[in-house]
């Protein structure tokens, strides 16, 4: 039997992030080829250069954070075609051990403190939700903007007591500097979705490939949920490739605290036939936050860039549906 | 114009000018001192050179973690990052300046029986001044070009932080505003330096 | 008294050099031992050294240090060569033609204050993951010094050489190629040395764009996972390669001005 | 025919914002194949005159004709030997001599042959591959002269060509130049500070006055040289001891002295 | 007493890895208040000899005594006027002249007065606040001489001090130097390439031979100058026309010529 020619698809992600693990697993398992795809990966250190690179068609599809997903739509017409996972627990406000203790006895001790965070990110979003939860206004604390690496340096050397981080930086700081999560986005009542994205014109030209991409992605989660121990081994390998080494316990925590979805759930979350979908609500809230930071001028309606068209294509095609739901 | 990133444009410019000026002053005064000592004394040169030459290519960005660890999140850490970049041209040019003083002048000083301190004051330093000022111009440039890196250290105000945030927001117009402000401020400070230069070297008029 | 004339013989020079290195390393040990800097952020020199050696064979972030260095060096070379290939002829042209000079100078005199890494967003927008991005950033760092030094060198070329060449019937191209260029080589090389340093430094910025390999990328990753020994290994690698590039350029200079007595 | 005609030539410069006349109205003709030397106080405009003939400077008023054609710019028909020899330090002796030939249309063999001839004429054999810094001042000057001669220019312009040489080398070069000039005469304009050199070399000596540079006097040497048979002496010091020589020298010295009162004050 | 004694002095240099003897065994004494000129082919070691007296170079063998004390290093008792004037470009005329006085113990008024005296002696009035680059070559050289004279050294060392001047300025400076030397004699060692200058200025002329530099001959000038009454003429060209002068000049020329055979080849 002659192999059908493979279609190339350019996939972008950020290394050593939980939601990117399915790309790695699918490659190890050689699932792309089964659907006639030949993936070509490019990786970016952060969401911003990633979506900026779409301007030069450096990639076709990929995964990213919800903030860059919104920015990607506003600047470059990037569409969100699915939710990679629930990142709410993966974005959190951390404190050094002493500060965490003080906070535990009196949350109001946060008032007047300096919080270092990466401005206009999902981490920022989670921190804002936490402030709200404890009845603090943005002006009750001093916010300093810096990159995740600088935050880690500042907190672990005692130059900052509070910081907004996302996984796996959270684990690094917990493990190597004894910092404590004092409030995650989840605790703050914020929902932080991760986004699966596609370039607007690629989606128009190659809808079939986009559907196949989603099918592969969902099969990978399906398999990992069914085979945790092997999944952890893969995760370790994947993280190390990205220069991250965290403990097995932290890796387990990744699965425990950051739910992912199967095809049926995805369809439900993205379903906007009865008004705003669940995902629309999440993204509208993120976009409103971004407007408040000045990153965007107006809040785009979520249903302009969120689409379940490709999820539906997967569901409608028997082969793809079975592929996506295959846990082996 | 409307504010962006926690402040009005003039506040950002002011903050950056303060940072650049401080970094520039610290690095150039120390750099000139070291450069002159190295130029005047071969032992000091041999002592310092290997370390200097190895540390020199390390980008200011790479010093950020250490700057945070040592100096915290305030202005001093930012100044240190600028210092690292602006120090190098000050040293190299002062060194070259001292070495460029030609034998006839050195020998004339010797023949006229001048003491060591006076030799530094009357011959070495004025003789090296043209190079020292070239070094200062380059240091000033380095101070400005390191601003973006320096303001990665938890800045709330400053042109570097505007550039960082505009990059984060993928806002090319704002990036250009930042770049143009940097370019104009740098150019203006160079003009000031040129004034100082012609004041310090009346014989070059 | 005539401090400049002090001459060190070989022994003295080795002695003072090793004393310099030794006191640097002792100072480093002292800082760690006295806990002036948390060990997490400043490991002992020998620990860094062993990590450095380790990284040469064991991959970190997917690649060994050699591979990181190689990919950094490749990007650097493209950007640096481009800066030289454009900067040198342009500088010569500016020296020869008032018009070119007046056209380019104002633009150039202001843009040189803009940080090379400030171009990163444009690099990402224009070139995406292509090699063009890092090249743009390195180029922005490396270009000004080559251009300035070539120009400065060329305008200070003794007029007598230009006049002699014109007397002998040489026109614009030959004036640039056979007179201005060779006469400004020392200045050009000095510019290239500064360029190489700045270009190499801009690399870390450039490697923020394409996160897959490179010394800068390795250091960013090391920092994010609080592995200071990896960051410092990167610093050492960058320092040593910078030193190597400088030595090579100085050799090139010696070769290029072989016609002078040394 | 390659005479040099100064036709009411003036040249002024801006200095410190003010125009000042460096060379005031010069009318003079250097005849074909004549050797004319110019002497005059420092700053009187000798070099400016020569540079105008070379085309490196243009007259503010008047014009300069070389062989009936007005000078518009530099060209290999009027070769210059500068005071600082202006050899290209980055080129070998051979490459220096060949520089001007490059832009001429002739076969490579011909270029090689011309170069070789001048190398041996100037006694530079064996030094073809040497760089200028490896040569003594006298040899460098011979390369500079060869570089000019190889173009076979009709006009040779020399601006204190021996000024940088030591006294002994200088006399050797002067004797060589006299030999060349008598054997293969060209139209030569020669600037010097040395009255002895001017009298020894030239057919006529032009004495210029200080600012604005004007022609003060023109002294005929050739008739006396031929009458007194200077050329029968091969050594300059023998010529310099002759009475006819001493007289001409003193005459020119006195003319110069009148100019130099107040020099540099 | 400030005589200069060369006691079996040799000086060698490393060049291209090899030692070579630049100055071979020199034995000679410049007497107190005597004016000695040195002539010799280029590279024969004249400058090296003078630099050894100045203490800027040390003999490889032998020793140099100035006023019975061995020379160990430079000092204001032996003032040097270099060929390149070596003025400090960043100091005014006045500051340059005062430079050497700074380390001397005398009142400021006295320093001012000495400086003012030399300024006017050298005809520099009005230029006290000028920087060297604003002066002509001749004026710069006068500043360099004033800077040396103001120290009232017992020994004056001059290395082709007029080499860079044009002929007219040069004669003015030569006449001034003669006037100074006769009025206020010092021990002077004077290097020149000009035989005329040596004969005109010196009490004795030393002719050196080429490598290794040795003393070829010493010619007494003073007795003849005094006998023939040269000093009664105030103008150099009048002296140069005298038979006694021409004879001495030719004698020295011939000695030099012998050296310069094969020069530069
Ligand atoms: N390019 C110029 N710009 C302004 N002034 C000039 C320029 N060239 C020459 N001069 C002035 O013109 C005058 C004549 O100069 P020129 O060089 O022709 O004199 P010269 O007779 O050759 O003197 P020297 O004997 O010292 O070489 C001088 O005063 C000089 O300063
Ligand atoms: N520092 C030095 N190192 C090596 N060689 C030297 C040094 N100084 C002088 N020489 C050599 O010593 C010789 C004598 O040089 P010196 O300068 O004394 O000659 P000079 O008689 O003054 O020549 P000129 O008339 O050209 O000034 C020359 O061959 C010169 O190259
Ligand atoms: O993916 N983000 O960098 O938020
Ligand atoms: Mg002239
Ligand atoms: Mg000499």
Our answer on whether the CB atom of A65 is closer than 6 Å to any ligand 3 atom is: yes
pLDDT at C262 over 60: no
Query: Quick check: B154 and A154 in contact, CB under 8 A?
Result: yes
Task: Determine, yes or no, domain membership for E241.
Answer: yes
Closest to B138 in 3D by CA, of B91, B90, B100 = B90
Residues in chain A: 328
Reported ipTM: the value is 0.83
Cα(B186)–Cα(C115) distance, integer angstroms: 11
D241/C135: higher pLDDT: C135
pLDDT of residue C4: 40
Interfacial E residues in 100-129 facing B (CB < 8 Å):
100, 102-104
The dihedral sign for the CA sequence E146, E147, E153, E155: negative
**pLDDT tens readout for residues E25-76:** 899 999 999 999 999 888 888 999 999 999 999 999 999 999 989 999 898 8
A52-61, A93-102, C38-47, E169-178: which has the minimum mean pLDDT? E169-178
Chain-centre distance of CA A305, in angstroms? 17
pLDDT of residue E167: 73
Question: Which of B152, B167, B169 is closest, CB to CB, to A150?
Answer: B152
Question: Which of C16, C203, C246 is closest, CB to CB, to B43?
Answer: C16
Ligand 3 centroid from CA A117, angstroms: 13
State whether residue A178 is helix, strand or coil.
coil
Locate the DSSP E strands across chain A: 7-13, 37-43, 61-65, 79-86, 91-95, 114-117, 142-145, 162-166, 180-184, 193-198
Interfacial C residues in 49-108 facing B (CB < 8 Å):
none
Alpha helices by DSSP H, E90-166: 93-98, 108-121, 137-149
Answer whether A touches B (≥3 Cβ pairs < 8 Å): yes
Segment D95-121 mean pLDDT: 91
Query: Quick check: B122 and E99 in contact, CB under 8 A?
Result: yes
| A52/C224 Cβ within 8 A | no
Name the CA dihedral angle for C178, C180, C185, C190, rounded to a multiple of 10 degrees.
-160
Other Cβ atoms less than 10 A from the Cβ of D100: the count is 21
Q: Which of D38, D45, D213 most suits a substitution to test ligand 1, by most atoms within 8 Å of the C-beta?
A: D45
Which residues on C lie below 8 Å from A57 (Cβ)? 128
Number of domains in chain D: 1
Full set of structural domains in chain B with CATH:
9-204 (1.10.3720.10)
Cα(A179)–Cα(A172) distance, integer angstroms: 9
User: Using H for helix, E for strand and C for coil, what is the string for E51-70?
Assistant: HHHHCCCCCCEEEEEECCEE
Task: Determine, yes or no, domain membership for D13.
Answer: yes
Our answer on whether the CB atom of D11 is closer than 6 Å to any ligand 1 atom is: no
Please indicate if any CB of chain C lies within 8 Å of the CB of A178.
no
pLDDT at A15 over 50: yes
Query: Quick check: E127 and D265 in contact, CB under 8 A?
Result: no
Rounded to the nearest angstrom, the minimum Cα separation between B141 and chain E is 27
Query: Quick check: E197 and E167 in contact, CB under 8 A?
Result: no
The dihedral sign for the CA sequence C79, C85, C88, C94: negative
Cα(E141)–Cα(B85) distance, integer angstroms: 45
Other Cβ atoms less than 10 A from the Cβ of A84: the count is 30
Our answer on whether the CB atom of E41 is closer than 6 Å to any ligand 2 atom is: no
Same domain, C27 and C46: no
A219-223, D212-216, D259-263: which has the minimum mean pLDDT? D259-263
- Can you name the residues that pair with A180 across neighbouring β-strands? A95
Ligand 2 centroid from CA E213, angstroms: 10
Q: If you write DSSP's letter for every residue of A48-77 in order, what string do you get?
A: HHHHHGGGGT--SEEEEEHHHHHHHHHHH-
**pLDDT tens readout for residues B72-130:** 999 999 999 999 999 999 999 899 899 888 888 888 998 888 888 889 999 999 999 99
- C-alpha distances (whole Å) from D104 to each of B136, D2, D110, E104 are 48, 20, 11, 66
| A172/C220 Cβ within 8 A | no
Kindly report the CATH number assigned to the domain that includes residue D53: 3.40.50.300
Task: Determine, yes or no, domain membership for D255.
Answer: yes
**Ligand 1 closest atom vs CA D208:** 21
pLDDT of residue E262: 43
**pLDDT tens readout for residues A39-96:** 999 988 889 889 999 999 999 999 999 999 999 999 999 999 999 999 999 999 999 9
Torsions phi, psi for B119 (to 5 deg): -60, -45
pLDDT at D261 over 60: no
Q: Which of C168, C255, C257 should we substitute to test contact with D (largest number of D Cβ atoms within 10 Å)?
A: C168
A23-27, C14-18, D176-180: which has the minimum mean pLDDT? D176-180
pLDDT at E6 over 50: yes
pLDDT at B62 over 50: yes
Chain-centre distance of CA A54, in angstroms? 18
**What's the whole-number average pLDDT of chain C?**
88
Residue A310 C-beta-side C-alpha neighbours within 13 Å: 31
pLDDT at A115 over 90: yes
The span from the first CA to the last CA of chain E, in angstroms, equals 45
| C168/D76 Cβ within 8 A | yes
Strands of the sheet containing E61-66, edge to edge, are E18-30, E4-15, E61-66, E69-70
C36/D95: higher pLDDT: D95
Answer whether A touches E (≥3 Cβ pairs < 8 Å): no
Rounded to the nearest angstrom, the minimum Cα separation between B68 and chain A is 6
Our answer on whether the CB atom of A67 is closer than 6 Å to any ligand 3 atom is: yes
CB under 8 Å to A287, separation ≥6 — which residues? A70, A296, A299, A300, A302
Ligand 5 centroid from CA E226, angstroms: 30
Cα(B34)–Cα(E87) distance, integer angstroms: 27
**Ligand 1 closest atom vs CA D49:** 18
* Domain extent at residue C119: 38-261
Residue E16 C-beta-side C-alpha neighbours within 13 Å: 3
pLDDT of residue C107: 84
Query: Quick check: C135 and C120 in contact, CB under 8 A?
Result: no
pLDDT at A164 over 60: yes
Rounded to the nearest angstrom, the minimum Cα separation between A35 and chain C is 26
Which residues on C lie below 8 Å from D104 (Cβ)? 169
Q: If you write DSSP's letter for every residue of E216-229 in order, what string do you get?
A: EEEEE-HHHHHHHT
Number of domains in chain C: 2
Burial class from Cβ neighbours inside 10 Å (0-12, 13-18, 19+) for residue A113 reads middle
**pLDDT tens readout for residues C213-237:** 889 889 888 888 888 899 899 989 9
C239/A24: higher pLDDT: A24
Rounded to the nearest angstrom, the minimum Cα separation between E235 and chain D is 10
Same domain, C195 and C155: yes
Query: Which ligand lies nearest to the CA atom of residue E51 in the structure?
Result: 2
Burial class from Cβ neighbours inside 10 Å (0-12, 13-18, 19+) for residue D136 reads middle
Which residues on B lie below 8 Å from A153 (Cβ)? 64-65, 68-69
Torsions phi, psi for C52 (to 5 deg): -55, -50
Name the CA dihedral angle for A183, A185, A189, A190, rounded to a multiple of 10 degrees.
160
Give residue A301's region: left, alpha or beta (phi > 0; psi -120 to 50).
beta
Q: pLDDT-based confidence at E264, cuts 50/70/90?
A: very low
**pLDDT tens readout for residues E247-260:** 898 899 888 877 65
Torsions phi, psi for D111 (to 5 deg): -60, -45
CB under 8 Å to D102, separation ≥6 — which residues? C170, C174, D111
Residue C157 C-beta-side C-alpha neighbours within 13 Å: 32
State whether residue D212 is helix, strand or coil.
coil
pLDDT of residue D260: 54
Q: pLDDT-based confidence at C2, cuts 50/70/90?
A: very low
Segment B149-163 mean pLDDT: 88
| B111/E56 Cβ within 8 A | yes
| E103/B114 Cβ within 8 A | yes
**pLDDT tens readout for residues C52-94:** 999 999 999 889 999 999 999 999 999 999 999 999 999 999 9
Q: What percent of chain A has pLDDT over 70?
A: 99
Which residues on B lie below 8 Å from A150 (Cβ)? 64-65, 68, 152-154
Question: Which of A48, A146, A294 is closest, CB to CB, to B153?
Answer: A146
State whether residue E215 is helix, strand or coil.
strand
Which residues on B lie below 8 Å from E103 (Cβ)? 112-115, 118
State whether residue D124 is helix, strand or coil.
coil
Can you read off the two tokens belonging to residue A232? 């952890």
User: Which run of H or E residues covers position C262?
Assistant: none
Which residues on B lie below 8 Å from A146 (Cβ)? 152-155
Our answer on whether the CB atom of A84 is closer than 6 Å to any ligand 3 atom is: no
| C126/A157 Cβ within 8 A | no
D64/C131: higher pLDDT: D64
- C-alpha distances (whole Å) from C162 to each of B149, D87, D132, D237, E147 are 44, 11, 17, 38, 38
Cα(D57)–Cα(D22) distance, integer angstroms: 12
Task: Determine, yes or no, domain membership for D94.
Answer: no
Helices (H) and strands (E) in chain A, counts: 17, 10
Same domain, C10 and C121: no
pLDDT of residue D262: 43
Cα(C137)–Cα(C120) distance, integer angstroms: 6
Ligand 3 centroid from CA A212, angstroms: 24
Tell me, what DSSP letter sits at residue B124? I
Q: pLDDT-based confidence at A201, cuts 50/70/90?
A: very high
Query: Quick check: B165 and B5 in contact, CB under 8 A?
Result: yes
Cα(E210)–Cα(D168) distance, integer angstroms: 12
Ligand 4 ion local residues (Cβ < 5 A): D 47
pLDDT at D156 over 60: yes
pLDDT of residue A2: 56
Our answer on whether the CB atom of E48 is closer than 6 Å to any ligand 2 atom is: yes
Task: Find the largest Cα–Cα distance for chain B.
Answer: 66
Kindly report the CATH number assigned to the domain that includes residue C86: 1.10.3720.10
* Domain extent at residue E69: 4-77+153-260
pLDDT of residue E263: 40
Segment C172-176 mean pLDDT: 92
Helices (H) and strands (E) in chain E, counts: 9, 10
pLDDT at D265 over 50: no
pLDDT of residue A3: 64
Which residues on E lie below 8 Å from B203 (Cβ)? 89-92, 131-133
Please indicate if any CB of chain E lies within 8 Å of the CB of B203.
yes
pLDDT of residue B203: 86
Query: Quick check: C63 and C216 in contact, CB under 8 A?
Result: no
pLDDT at C5 over 50: no
Query: Which ligand lies nearest to the CA atom of residue D193 in the structure?
Result: 1
Q: Which of D14, D18, D22 most suits a substitution to test ligand 1, by most atoms within 8 Å of the C-beta?
A: D22
Query: Quick check: C56 and C63 in contact, CB under 8 A?
Result: no
CB under 8 Å to E12, separation ≥6 — which residues? E19, E20, E21, E22, E60
Alpha helices by DSSP H, D30-166: 46-54, 93-102, 108-121, 137-149
Torsions phi, psi for E129 (to 5 deg): -95, 5
| D99/C168 Cβ within 8 A | yes
Closest to D26 in 3D by CA, of D261, D208, D229 = D208
pLDDT at D259 over 70: no
For A270-273, the CB contacts below 8 A with 24+ separation are A270/A82, A270/A83, A270/A306, A270/A307, A270/A308, A270/A311, A271/A308, A272/A303, A272/A306, A272/A308
Residue nearest to atom 31 of ligand 1 (CA): D43
Task: Determine, yes or no, domain membership for E113.
Answer: no
Chain-centre distance of CA E195, in angstroms? 14
Same domain, C18 and C95: no
Residue nearest to atom 6 of ligand 2 (CA): E13
Same domain, C125 and C231: yes
């Amino acid at each position: 039997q002659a192999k059908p020619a493979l279609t190339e698809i350019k996939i972008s992600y950020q290394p050593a992030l939980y939601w990117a693990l399915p790309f790695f697993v699918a490659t190890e398992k050689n699932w792309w080829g089964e659907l006639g795809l030949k993936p070509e990966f490019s990786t970016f250190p952060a969401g911003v250069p990633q979506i900026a690179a779409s301007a030069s068609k450096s990639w076709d599809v990929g995964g990213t954070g919800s903030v860059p997903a919104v920015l990607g739509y506003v600047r470059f017409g990037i569409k969100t075609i699915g939710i990679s996972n629930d990142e709410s627990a993966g974005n959190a406000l951390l404190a050094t051990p002493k500060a965490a203790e003080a906070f535990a006895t009196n949350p109001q001790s946060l008032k007047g403190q300096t919080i270092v965070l990466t401005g206009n990110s999902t981490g920022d979003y989670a921190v804002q939700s936490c402030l709200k939860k404890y009845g603090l206004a943005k002006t009750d604390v001093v916010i300093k903007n810096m990159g995740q690496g600088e935050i880690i340096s500042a907190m672990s050397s005692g130059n900052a007591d509070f910081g907004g981080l996302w996984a796996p930086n959270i684990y690094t700081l917990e493990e190597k500097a004894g910092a404590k999560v004092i409030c995650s986005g989840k605790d703050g009542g914020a929902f932080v979705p991760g986004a699966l994205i596609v370039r607007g014109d690629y989606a128009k030209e190659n809808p079939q490939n986009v559907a196949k991409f989603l099918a592969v992605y969902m099969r990978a989660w399906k398999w990992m949920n069914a085979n945790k121990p092997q999944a952890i081994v893969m995760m370790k390998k994947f993280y190390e490739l990205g220069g991250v080494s965290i403990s097995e316990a932290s890796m387990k925590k990744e699965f425990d605290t950051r739910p992912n979805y199967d095809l049926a759930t995805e369809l439900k979350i993205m379903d906007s036939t009865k008004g705003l979908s669940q995902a629309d609500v999440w993204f509208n809230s993120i976009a409103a936050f971004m407007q408040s930071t000045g990153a965007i001028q107006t809040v785009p309606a979520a249903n302009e860039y969120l689409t379940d068209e490709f999820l539906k294509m997967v569901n409608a095609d028997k082969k793809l549906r079975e592929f996506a739901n295959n846990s082996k | 114009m409307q504010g962006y990133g926690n402040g009005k444009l003039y506040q950002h410019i002011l903050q950056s000018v303060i940072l650049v000026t401080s970094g520039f002053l610290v690095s150039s005064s120390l750099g000139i001192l070291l450069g002159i000592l190295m130029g005047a004394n071969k032992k000091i040169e041999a002592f310092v050179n290997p370390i200097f030459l190895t540390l020199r290519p390390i980008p200011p960005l790479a010093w950020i973690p250490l700057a945070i660890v040592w100096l915290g999140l305030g202005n001093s850490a930012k100044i240190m990052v600028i210092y690292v970049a602006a120090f190098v041209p000050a040293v190299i040019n002062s060194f070259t300046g001292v070495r460029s003083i030609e034998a006839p002048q050195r020998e004339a000083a010797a023949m006229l029986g001048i003491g060591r301190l006076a030799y530094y004051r009357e011959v070495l330093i004025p003789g090296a001044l043209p190079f020292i000022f070239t070094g200062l111009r380059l240091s000033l440039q380095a101070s400005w070009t390191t601003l973006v890196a320096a303001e990665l250290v938890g800045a709330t105000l400053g042109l570097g932080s505007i550039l960082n945030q505009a990059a984060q927001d993928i806002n090319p117009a704002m990036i250009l505003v930042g770049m143009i402000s940097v370019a104009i401020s740098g150019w203006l400070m160079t003009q000031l330096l040129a004034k100082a230069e012609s004041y310090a070297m009346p014989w070059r008029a | 008294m005539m401090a400049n004339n002090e001459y060190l013989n070989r022994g003295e020079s080795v002695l003072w050099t090793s004393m310099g290195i030794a006191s640097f390393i002792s100072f480093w040990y002292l800082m760690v031992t006295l806990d002036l800097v948390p060990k997490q952020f400043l490991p002992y020199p020998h620990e860094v050294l062993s990590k450095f050696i380790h990284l040469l064979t064991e991959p970190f972030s997917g690649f060994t240090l050699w591979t990181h260095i190689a990919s950094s060096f490749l990007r650097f070379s493209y950007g640096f060569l481009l800066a030289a290939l454009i900067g040198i002829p342009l500088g010569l042209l500016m020296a020869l033609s008032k018009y070119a000079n007046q056209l380019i100078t104002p633009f150039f005199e202001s843009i040189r204050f803009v940080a090379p890494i400030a171009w990163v967003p444009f690099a990402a927008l224009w070139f995406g993951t292509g090699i063009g991005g890092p090249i743009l950033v390195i180029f922005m760092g490396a270009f000004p010094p080559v251009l300035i030094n070539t120009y400065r060198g060329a305008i200070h070329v003794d007029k007598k050489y230009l006049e002699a060449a014109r007397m002998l019937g040489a026109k614009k191209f030959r004036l640039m190629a056979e007179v201005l260029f060779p006469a400004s080589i020392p200045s050009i090389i000095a510019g290239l040395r500064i360029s190489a340093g700045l270009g190499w430094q801009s690399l870390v910025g450039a490697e923020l764009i394409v996160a897959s390999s490179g010394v800068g990328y390795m250091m960013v990753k090391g920092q994010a996972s609080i592995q200071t020994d990896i960051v410092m290994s990167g610093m050492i690698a960058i320092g040593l390669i910078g030193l190597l590039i400088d030595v090579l350029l100085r050799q090139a200079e010696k070769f290029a001005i072989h016609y002078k007595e040394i | 025919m390659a005479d040099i005609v100064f036709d009411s030539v003036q040249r002024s410069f801006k200095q410190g914002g003010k125009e000042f006349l460096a060379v005031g109205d010069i009318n003079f003709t250097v005849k074909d194949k004549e050797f004319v030397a110019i002497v005059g106080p420092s700053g009187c405009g000798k070099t400016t005159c020569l540079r105008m003939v070379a085309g490196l400077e243009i007259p503010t008023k008047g014009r300069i004709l070389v062989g009936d054609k007005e000078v518009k710019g530099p060209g290999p028909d009027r070769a210059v030997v500068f005071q600082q020899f202006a050899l290209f330090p980055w080129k070998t002796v051979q490459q220096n001599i060949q520089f001007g030939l490059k832009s001429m249309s002739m076969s490579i063999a011909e270029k090689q042959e011309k170069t070789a001839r001048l190398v041996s004429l100037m006694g530079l054999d064996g030094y073809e591959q040497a760089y200028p810094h490896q040569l003594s001042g006298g040899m460098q000057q011979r390369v500079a002269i060869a570089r000019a001669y190889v173009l076979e220019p009709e006009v040779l312009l020399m601006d204190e060509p021996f000024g940088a040489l030591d006294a002994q080398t200088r006399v050797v070069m002067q004797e060589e130049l006299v030999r060349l000039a008598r054997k293969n005469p060209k139209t030569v304009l020669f600037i010097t500070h040395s009255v002895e050199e001017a009298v020894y070399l030239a057919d006529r000596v032009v004495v210029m006055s200080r600012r604005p540079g004007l022609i003060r006097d023109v002294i005929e040497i050739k008739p006396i040289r031929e009458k007194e048979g200077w050329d029968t002496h091969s050594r300059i010091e023998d010529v310099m001891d002759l009475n006819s020589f001493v007289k001409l020298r003193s005459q020119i010295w006195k003319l110069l002295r009148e100019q130099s009162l107040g020099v540099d004050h």
